[in-house]
Amino acid sequence: MALNFGTVSSGLDLETTGKRGGNFGLAHSDNRFAFSTIQSPLGVIRGGDGPTALVCAGNHGDEYEGQIIVRRLFEMLEPDDLAGRLILAPALNMPAVQAISRTSPLDGGNLNRSFPGQAYGGPTREIAGFVATQLMPLADVAVDLHSGGSGSDYLDCAYLCLSNDPARNAQTRDLATVMGLANTMVVPPSDTPGDFDGSAHAAGCAMISCELGGEGKVSLRALEAGWHGVLRILAHSGVLNAAAAQRLGADTPPKTRFLDLGAEADTITAQSHGLIEPMVQIGAPITAGQPVARLRNLHDLAAAPDTLFAAKDGILAILRAGAIVAPGDHFCVICPEISDARLDALLQQTGQP
């Protein structure tokens, strides 16, 4: 049965036992693509009737660790390794991947703000709709692999995106714990409307996303942490046989540290144009009042630099990659650790007054 949403379609059989690689194609007509379909890889490996995992990357085109991990899964796994089914999409927003860009060069769309998508609503919203309507409903668990991209560097972290459903939140914490990245960012509900996470939750999937380094490069540290984390999630979810997970290097998850990317996080933002000089490194513990950067006027050698200070204690979790800034550009985000008790309370919140 063909998969179809708007002008996006795939003839790949996702049902039959076996291993198949194909693609989904986006029809988009401009000068370059007047007589083309923009194809993005889509693969399936089915061993048995167990649960289905959907593992995606390339949601943002300039984030690479996940794109490698998803392609590696297809290369290294066979149907006998799986109790269930694995659906793999390593380059969700292929126009952005090909353009080495976070967003699509076709319509400027940010795929991770375009869910649940719209048929005939432009290329990026059409891809989102294809994923949301054709792939997510098949999945028991979904994994969306990100990195910081060209613009920022992240501590390796899972994203625990809170919902208003305590049972769903407990499930996401389990996935973050099993994934075992060094950190887990706890993100308030609806922090980024239109993202993959919210759409997967709406489709009924367990869901985890993550950030694996950044700066538009491939970090071997982040790549291997993500690889082992994904293998543990697939085994934990009953998709991947334990023997296969072990063969590929899955081990006991390291303990993750939960950080608050909600109201308690401290975002430090430039308020003038200039050249920014970091005074701290990513991962450093920061105390309130500590200077974190100097910002220099590009044109006036005699002007004294401005100093940017932290307002709160925490861990420097996200750091800007570019050194030239304008007012409103974020330099870094400092996230406090979350105690087990506070995390329990956040997971229980329903959003009801």
The residue ranges that bind Zn ion (CB under 5 A) are: 60, 63, 146
Q: What are phi and psi of 40, to 5 degrees?
A: -130, 135
As measured in angstroms, the least distance from the Cβ of 281 to Zn ion is 22
Q: What are phi and psi of 155, to 5 degrees?
A: -60, 140
Comparison of 213 and 274: residue with beta carbon closer to Zn ion: 213
As measured in angstroms, the least distance from the Cβ of 163 to Zn ion is 20
DSSP element (H, E) containing 306: strand 306-309
As a whole number of angstroms, the distance between CA 30 and CA 81 comes to: 43
As measured in angstroms, the least distance from the Cβ of 150 to Zn ion is 11
As measured in angstroms, the least distance from the Cβ of 352 to Zn ion is 31
Comparison of 99 and 119: residue with beta carbon closer to Zn ion: 99
- Report the 3 state secondary structure along 203-267: CCCEEEEEECCCCCCCCHHHHHHHHHHHHHHHHHCCCECHHHHHHCCCCCCCCCEEEECCCCCEE
As measured in angstroms, the least distance from the Cβ of 111 to Zn ion is 9
Helix, strand, coil content of the chain in percent (nearest 5) = 25, 30, 45
With H, G, I as helix, E, B as strand and everything else as coil, classify residue 321. coil
Comparison of 116 and 336: residue with beta carbon closer to Zn ion: 116
As measured in angstroms, the least distance from the Cβ of 60 to Zn ion is 4
Comparison of 63 and 81: residue with beta carbon closer to Zn ion: 63
DSSP element (H, E) containing 199: helix 196-202
Show the tokens assigned to 34.
């007047």
Comparison of 140 and 191: residue with beta carbon closer to Zn ion: 191
Comparison of 79 and 194: residue with beta carbon closer to Zn ion: 194
Comparison of 177 and 192: residue with beta carbon closer to Zn ion: 192
As measured in angstroms, the least distance from the Cβ of 156 to Zn ion is 14
Q: Cα 197 from chain centroid?
A: 9
Sheet holding 157-161, edge to edge: 3-5, 8-10, 18-26, 38-46, 85-89, 52-56, 141-146, 206-211, 157-161, 183-187, 257-260
